[in-house]
């Protein structure tokens, strides 16, 4: 075999570990160095993650230490950032963030896949993925926290909301986690005084007409019936189109409440694979029958990140642990064949069957041609996974947890897992409330895109009155936080809204440490405390009786997003305009150009043919025809706006005109004068 070969394996999951074990068994230490890179120093036993969420087992046995499992393999806890398949090296990020390179004779890509939360708007902000041990612990903590919140909540609607759980995706992981959460919440309800059976709602949403596409039709039916009997609400043939703080929504406007949302759909390809110039299908590396990447005799791809045809039935291998392990073993055997100048073999595996726990001590199983469901299948499920756990100590830990659960209730303690308060993002749909009047004040918000309206119920008729409109760059929520009191008004999204959310502790730390930030907030509090109309009741009276249409001017001159910088400059200068609306061919407002935008573009080296869309102010604050004159006046004052575009409504953004602040002021002064003039004369 000649010199000692270097075989690099990227990924320490089922596929990578099996490959490393087989290579180590088949090759002597002087024949080959086997190096395995993994982001963590353990293998995640993903099939048991749902059990961690449901507190059926503790998190420890799900993380299996690679070093102890792989004697004779050089394990490196490192992220591979690049594979150069033309020059045979991998690039990694060292412990201090420095780049390093290592050459290989053979490389095995086994980096699995991650959850793509970006597929559905709001999913990344509000949903829990389930891929890592940290995900499972954080989700379990969150579920327990919702129960604790529900227990002390006096408002019945809010209590039900805390106890609403939505699981998106009806494949193996979705079904398992829905079953576990349902069992956890219902089994432990007896320890809570204020949680009734009817308060709990676990919903499983699936886009197809049956759950578990991987198993036979009668087992799918069994799964649905059993889950519904256990109290799970199964929604089929529905595709979630957005997720908010309140729950999930569909295209037709129907929504389902969910204080806890779990996402088990959407796979993202790892960045190393994205960069690789090799054939891919839906992000998976397409391999030759022997698992080599086409065009590269020493590059192999296995597990979830690869698309491998199983020569047993000529179908693509599914992304399961069972297949990943077999591919790992057979790829290792093929590498040894290549090193010994023998012919490789195509991947071939007769699947043993499928097993899925569905909650309530039930499972469905297809095993060696038999179809089993119910308790026996569940017992089989547990036995198989116990057997599959790689070490005796892990088997013992899991058996102990499972035995414990038979005699005692699930553990209700929920120690926090690395949940130091942080700055996060949130997404809201138009009409959603960011918070309500009377809510406790926990967060401070900064608007990234979109608009909100600040509303308060009037004492007279209890109807909501809009107090202010806020747009990108504005913030809210500081007054109640600074005064330590409940929210005195509600904040509602006017458009699709993205906000940065700062938890109370972070807010206090930053405002305590940074004087300019504190002064800035103090100014804002002063400006916002009390309504401006309290100080100007006459002005309020005049404007309140005047429809907004009184002040709207038509837009005579506008720019198109495709117009050039030169056209923008000549339009603004020749017509002596201080601003110009940017309107597309569909009469939709796309932005605003002001003199400041022009100067800013000049500073950054604008060319004459630069497009208006490249330097305009996008998503300006706009008024709608239905807004009142008082709210538009307050918005202009709050944002120091000299003018504001008016649109038909916030969903179509069709431009109707614009309002100048001067016109409003002149109108008020004229009325004021008339009023005082007439009273002065009497």
Ligand X SMILES: Cc1cc2nc3c(=O)[nH]c(=O)nc-3n(C[C@H](O)[C@H](O)[C@H](O)COP(=O)(O)OP(=O)(O)OC[C@H]3O[C@@H](n4cnc5c(N)ncnc54)[C@H](O)[C@@H]3O)c2cc1C
Which CB, 320 or 496, lies closer to ligand X? 320
Cβ atoms within 10 Å, residue 69: 18
Distance CA 35, CA 359 (A): 40
DSSP summary character for residue 354: E
Which CB, 139 or 592, lies closer to ligand X? 139
Which CB, 39 or 619, lies closer to ligand X? 39
Which CB, 167 or 470, lies closer to ligand X? 167
| Residue (of 209, 208, 167, 207) closest to 184 by Cα position | 167
Which CB, 322 or 489, lies closer to ligand X? 322
CB 351 to ligand X: min, Å: 10
Among positions 22, 46, 164, 495, the unique one binding ligand X when judged by CB under 6 A: 46
* Binding span for ligand X by CB under 6 A among 39-47, 211-219, 232-240, 388-396: 39-47
591 sits near ligand X (criterion: CB under 6 A): no
Helix (H) or strand (E) holding 253: none
E-only strand ranges, 460-586: 464-470, 475-476, 490-493, 497-503, 552-553, 558-559, 579-583
* Binding span for ligand X by CB under 6 A among 33-41, 372-380, 396-404, 600-608: 33-41
CB 627 to ligand X: min, Å: 47
Which CB, 255 or 317, lies closer to ligand X? 317
* Binding span for ligand X by CB under 6 A among 5-13, 185-193, 241-249, 397-405: 5-13
Cβ atoms within 10 Å, residue 218: 11
Q: Are 218 and 352 in contact (CB under 8 A)?
A: no
CB 409 to ligand X: min, Å: 24
10 sits near ligand X (criterion: CB under 6 A): yes
Q: Are 583 and 555 in contact (CB under 8 A)?
A: yes
Distance CA 466, CA 626 (A): 12
Among positions 9, 35, 49, 559, the unique one binding ligand X when judged by CB under 6 A: 49
Distance CA 479, CA 437 (A): 13
Would you call 36 helix, strand, or coil by DSSP?
Answer: strand
172 sits near ligand X (criterion: CB under 6 A): yes
Would you call 301 helix, strand, or coil by DSSP?
Answer: strand
- Which residues sit opposite 353 in a β-bridge? 367
63 sits near ligand X (criterion: CB under 6 A): no
Site for ligand X (CB under 6 A): how many residues? 34
Distance CA 681, CA 677 (A): 6
Residue 265: φ, ψ to 5°: -115, 160
Cβ atoms within 10 Å, residue 668: 20
* Binding span for ligand X by CB under 6 A among 46-54, 193-201, 441-449, 571-579: 46-54
Among positions 47, 169, 477, 657, the unique one binding ligand X when judged by CB under 6 A: 47
270 sits near ligand X (criterion: CB under 6 A): yes
Q: Are 367 and 380 in contact (CB under 8 A)?
A: yes
Map tokens 């045979």 to a residue: 88
Would you call 329 helix, strand, or coil by DSSP?
Answer: helix
* Binding span for ligand X by CB under 6 A among 1-9, 14-22, 249-257, 558-566: 14-22
CB 27 to ligand X: min, Å: 20
Cβ atoms within 10 Å, residue 43: 21
14 sits near ligand X (criterion: CB under 6 A): yes
Cβ atoms within 10 Å, residue 41: 14
Tokens linked to 618 = 């996008």
Q: Are 617 and 601 in contact (CB under 8 A)?
A: no
Among positions 7, 8, 9, 11, the unique one binding ligand X when judged by CB under 6 A: 11
CB 83 to ligand X: min, Å: 9
* Binding span for ligand X by CB under 6 A among 40-48, 192-200, 497-505, 513-521: 40-48
Number of residue whose CB is nearest ligand X: 13
Which CB, 131 or 329, lies closer to ligand X? 131
Which CB, 111 or 466, lies closer to ligand X? 111
Distance CA 194, CA 620 (A): 47
Helix (H) or strand (E) holding 586: none
Q: Are 619 and 497 in contact (CB under 8 A)?
A: no
* Binding span for ligand X by CB under 6 A among 11-19, 337-345, 401-409, 638-646: 11-19
272 sits near ligand X (criterion: CB under 6 A): yes
- Cβ-proximal residues to 15 (8 Å cutoff; 6+ apart), any chain: 110, 112, 302, 303, 304, 324, 325, 327, 328, 331
| Residue (of 466, 468, 658) closest to 548 by Cα position | 658
| Residue (of 658, 636, 638) closest to 580 by Cα position | 658
Which CB, 320 or 489, lies closer to ligand X? 320
Instruction: Give, as ranges, the residues between 634 and 663 that touch ligand X (CB under 6 A).
Output: none
304 sits near ligand X (criterion: CB under 6 A): yes
Among positions 7, 34, 38, 169, the unique one binding ligand X when judged by CB under 6 A: 38
Distance CA 362, CA 156 (A): 32
CB 85 to ligand X: min, Å: 15
Which CB, 50 or 593, lies closer to ligand X? 50
Widest pairwise Cα distance in the chain: 114
Cβ atoms within 10 Å, residue 619: 16
Estimate the share of the chain in helix, then strand, then coil, as percent rounded to the nearest 5.
Answer: 35, 25, 35
Query: What is the contact mask toward ligand X in residues 102 to 131, using x (rule: CB under 6 A)?
Result: --------xxx-----------------xx
Instruction: Give, as ranges, the residues between 421 and 480 that touch ligand X (CB under 6 A).
Output: none
- Return the C-alpha torsion angle 624, 628, 633, 634, nearest 10: -100
CB 367 to ligand X: min, Å: 13
CB 357 to ligand X: min, Å: 8
Query: What is the contact mask toward ligand X in residues 307 to 346, using x (rule: CB under 6 A)?
Result: ------------xxxx-x----------------------
173 sits near ligand X (criterion: CB under 6 A): yes
Which CB, 174 or 471, lies closer to ligand X? 174
Among positions 7, 9, 15, 468, the unique one binding ligand X when judged by CB under 6 A: 15
Q: Are 565 and 597 in contact (CB under 8 A)?
A: no
Among positions 37, 222, 445, 507, the unique one binding ligand X when judged by CB under 6 A: 37
* Binding span for ligand X by CB under 6 A among 42-50, 407-415, 481-489, 525-533: 42-50
16 sits near ligand X (criterion: CB under 6 A): yes
Which CB, 333 or 619, lies closer to ligand X? 333
Which CB, 255 or 320, lies closer to ligand X? 320
Distance CA 562, CA 554 (A): 22
Among positions 39, 210, 436, 571, the unique one binding ligand X when judged by CB under 6 A: 39
Residues engaged in binding ligand X (CB under 6 A) = 10-16, 37-40, 44, 46-47, 49-50, 79-80, 110-112, 130-131, 172-173, 270, 272, 303-304, 319-322, 324
């Amino acid at each position: 075999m000649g010199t000692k070969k270097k075989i690099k394996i990227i990924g320490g999951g089922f596929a990578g570990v099996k490959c490393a074990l087989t290579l180590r068994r088949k090759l002597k230490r002087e024949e080959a160095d086997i190096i395995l890179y993994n982001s963590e120093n353990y293998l995640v036993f993903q099939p048991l993650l749902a059990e961690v969420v449901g507190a059926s087992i503790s998190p420890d046995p799900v993380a299996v230490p690679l070093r102890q499992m792989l004697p004779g393999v050089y394990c490196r806890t490192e992220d591979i950032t690049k594979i150069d398949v033309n020059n045979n090296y991998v690039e990694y990020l060292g412990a201090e963030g420095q780049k390093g390179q290592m050459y290989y004779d053979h490389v095995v890509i086994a980096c699995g896949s991650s959850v793509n939360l970006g597929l559905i708007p709001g999913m990344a902000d509000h949903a829990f993925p389930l891929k890592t041990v940290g995900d499972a612990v954080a989700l379990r903590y969150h579920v327990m926290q919702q129960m604790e919140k529900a227990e002390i909540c006096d408002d019945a609607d809010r209590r039900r909301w805390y106890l609403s759980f939505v699981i998106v995706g009806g494949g193996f992981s979705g079904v398992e986690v829905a079953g576990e959460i349902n069992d956890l919440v219902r089994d432990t309800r007896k320890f809570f005084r204020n949680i009734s059976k009817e308060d709990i709602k676990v919903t499983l949403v699936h886009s197809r007409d049956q759950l578990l596409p991987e198993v036979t039709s009668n087992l799918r039916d069994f799964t649905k019936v059993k889950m519904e009997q256990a109290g799970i609400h199964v929604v089929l043939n529905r595709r979630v189109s957005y997720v908010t703080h309140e729950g999930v929504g569909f295209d037709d406007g129907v929504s389902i409440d969910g204080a806890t949302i779990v996402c088990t759909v959407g796979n993202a390809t790892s960045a190393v694979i994205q960069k690789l110039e090799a054939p891919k299908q839906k992000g998976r590396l397409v391999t030759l029958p022997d698992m080599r990447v086409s065009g590269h005799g020493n590059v192999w791809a296995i597990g979830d990140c690869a698309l491998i045809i199983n020569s047993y039935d000529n179908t693509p291998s599914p992304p399961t642990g069972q297949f990943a392990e077999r591919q790992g073993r057979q790829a290792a055997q093929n590498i040894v064949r290549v090193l010994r100048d023998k012919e490789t073999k195509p991947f071939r595996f007769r699947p043993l069957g499928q097993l899925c726990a569905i909650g309530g001590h039930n499972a469905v199983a297809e095993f060696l041609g038999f179809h089993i469901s119910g308790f026996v299948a569940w017992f089989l499920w547990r036995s198989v996974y116990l057997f599959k756990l790689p070490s005796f100590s892990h088997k013992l830990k899991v058996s102990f947890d499972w035995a414990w659960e038979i005699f005692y209730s699930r553990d209700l303690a929920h120690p926090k897992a690395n949940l130091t308060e942080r700055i996060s993002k949130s997404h809201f749909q138009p009409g959603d409330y960011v918070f309500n009047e009377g809510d406790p004040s926990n967060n401070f918000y900064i608007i990234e895109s979109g608009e909100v309206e600040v509303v308060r119920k009037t004492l007279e008729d209890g109807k909501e009155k809009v107090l202010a409109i806020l747009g990108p760059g504005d913030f809210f929520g500081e007054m109640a936080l600074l005064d330590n009191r409940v929210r005195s008004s509600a904040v509602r999204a006017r458009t699709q809204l993205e906000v940065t959310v700062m938890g109370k502790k972070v807010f206090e730390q930053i405002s305590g440490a940074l004087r300019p930030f504190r002064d800035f907030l103090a100014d804002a509090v002063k400006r916002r405390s009390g309504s401006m109309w309290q100080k100007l009741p006459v002005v309020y009276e005049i404007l309140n009786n005047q429809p907004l249409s009184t002040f709207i001017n038509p837009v005579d001159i506008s720019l198109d997003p495709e117009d050039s910088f030169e056209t923008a400059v000549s339009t603004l200068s020749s017509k002596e305009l201080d601003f110009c609306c940017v309107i597309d061919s569909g009469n939709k407002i796309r932005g605003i150009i002001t003199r400041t935008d022009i100067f800013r573009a000049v500073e950054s080296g604008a060319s004459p043919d630069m497009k208006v869309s490249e330097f305009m102010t996008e998503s300006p604050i706009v008024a709608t025809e239905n807004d009142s004159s008082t709210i538009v006046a307050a918005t202009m004052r709050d944002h120091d706006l000299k003018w504001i575009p008016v649109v038909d409504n916030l969903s179509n953004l069709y431009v109707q005109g614009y309002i100048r602040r001067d016109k409003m002021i002149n109108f008020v002064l004229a009325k004021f004068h008339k009023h005082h003039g007439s009273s002065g004369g009497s």
